[in-house]
Structure 1
Amino acid sequence: MFNRILCTLGLTAAVLAAAPLTASAQTAPDYNYVGIGGSDEGFVVNGKVSLSENLSVRPAVATDFDFDDGDDVVYVLPITYDFNAVDPAGRLNPFVGAGINGELGDDSSIEAAVTGGADYRVNDQWLVNGSVVWSPFQDGDDDVDFMAGVGYSF
C-alpha cells in the first residue's frame, strides 16, 4: 500500500514539475534509441521509438539470467508522452506513460503499468536514461521497478 501511495505521489510530482516548463522549452524530443542497462529485475535491453512529436513507445526487456526461478524474462511496453526539454541546453527530456508489462516463463503474466522517467542526452549519439515502472494490480499487490541505462541514439 505504501509503495502505491509513494509511486502515485512521485509520478504526480514529476508531471506537475515538468508541465510548466514545457511551455517555455524550445525543443521537442525527436530521437530514437536502443540501449542497455540494469534494473532491480536484472540486465535490461530498452529503447525508444518516436510515434509523433511527443508520443513514443518505450519497450524494455529484463532478465536476471537465473532461468530456474520462474521469472525468466520481465517486459514492459508503454506508450509515453515525451515532454519538451526542461533545461536550456535541451538535453533533459522527461516522460510519463502507461502500457503493459509482465513476465514470460513458468508463470507468464500480463499487467497494466504506469511509467515515468527521463532521458539525458550526453551528445547527439549517446544518452543516459532512468525510469520507474509501477504495476498497481500485480497479483493483488503493487510492484515498483526501477531501470537505468545508456543508449545509442539514431
Structure 2
Amino acid sequence: MFFNRILCSLGLTAVVLAAAPLTASAQEASDYNYVGIGGSDEGFVVNGKISLSEHLSVRPAVSTDFDFDDSEDVNYVLPITYDFNALDAAGRVNPFLGAGISGELGDDSSVEAAVTGGTDYRVTNNWLVNGSVVWSPFQDGSDDVDFIAGIGYSF
C-alpha cells in the first residue's frame, strides 16, 4: 500500500511537470490531437489525445457503466505516452506506450499507477479508430487490465 502511494505520487508529479511547460507547444505540435468515444470493459468511454511534442502525448480517458448505485461510479486514466513513428508509409498506424495514473471516483475513490499501450489507426485525415490496454498493477491489492476501443475525431 505504501509503495503504491509513492508510485501514484510520482506518476501524478510526472504528469504535472511534463504537461506544464509544454502547454504552449501543444497547439503547435506537428502531430494530431483527437477527442473520441467508445467502450471498455468498464462501460462507455470518452477519450482523447493531446500532443505535447512530436513524440509525447497525454491520453486521458473517462469511463462509466451508468450504474451509480455501486462504488465504482467513474473510472479514469491519465497517462503520458511516447508516440512511436508510424508503422506504415501512409502514416495511418500509430502505436504508443506510456504510464501515468488511473483510478475510480465514487464511494471508494482511488488513485493508482497505470501503464498503457495501444494503437491509433487513421481512417481519414479527420477520423480514426483506436484501441488500448491499461494495466493497473496495484489495483485493490491485485493487478487490473482494462481494454478500450473507440472512434475519434482528429483536429
Q: Does the residue aligned with 2:140 lie in a helix, a strand or coil?
A: helix
Task: Give the paired residue count.
Answer: 127
What is the deviation of 1:139? 1.5
1:34 aligns with 2:35: yes
For 1:108-153, what per-residue CA distance to the aligned partner results, in whole angstroms no more than 9, with x for missing partners? 0000000000000001000000000000011210000000000000
- Superposed counterparts of 1:93-108, under 5 Å: 93-108=94-109
Please, which runs of 5 or more residues in structure 1 have no aligned partner?
A: 1-27
What is the deviation of 1:29? 7.3
Contact 2:38 2:44 (C-alpha < 8 Å) held by counterparts: yes
Identity of aligned residues (%): 84
Q: Does the residue aligned with 2:108 lie in a helix, a strand or coil?
A: coil
- The alpha-carbon distance between structure 1 residues 149 and 37, as it changes in their structure 2 partners (threshold 3 A), is same
What residue is the counterpart of 2:82 in the other structure? 81
Query: What is the CA–CA distance in structure 2 between the aligned matches of 1:103 and 1:112, rounded to whole Å?
Result: 12
Root mean square deviation of aligned Cα: 1.1
Contact 1:33 1:48 (C-alpha < 8 Å) held by counterparts: yes
Contact 2:83 2:94 (C-alpha < 8 Å) held by counterparts: yes
What residue is the counterpart of 1:132 in the other structure? 133
Contact 1:133 1:146 (C-alpha < 8 Å) held by counterparts: yes
The runs of at least 4 consecutive aligned structure 1 residues that moved more than 3 Å come to none
Query: What is the CA–CA distance in structure 1 between the aligned matches of 2:106 and 2:63, rounded to whole Å?
Result: 12
Instruction: Please tell me the residue identity of whatever aligns with 1:81.
Output: Y
What is the deviation of 1:60? 0.2
Please, which runs of 5 or more residues in structure 2 have no aligned partner?
A: 1-28
Instruction: Please tell me the residue identity of whatever aligns with 1:138.
Output: Q
Relative to the length of structure 1, the TM-score reads: 0.81
1:152 aligns with 2:150: no
Contact 1:29 1:54 (C-alpha < 8 Å) held by counterparts: no
What residue is the counterpart of 2:7 in the other structure? none
Contact 2:30 2:53 (C-alpha < 8 Å) held by counterparts: no
Relative to the length of structure 2, the TM-score reads: 0.80
Contact 1:63 1:73 (C-alpha < 8 Å) held by counterparts: yes
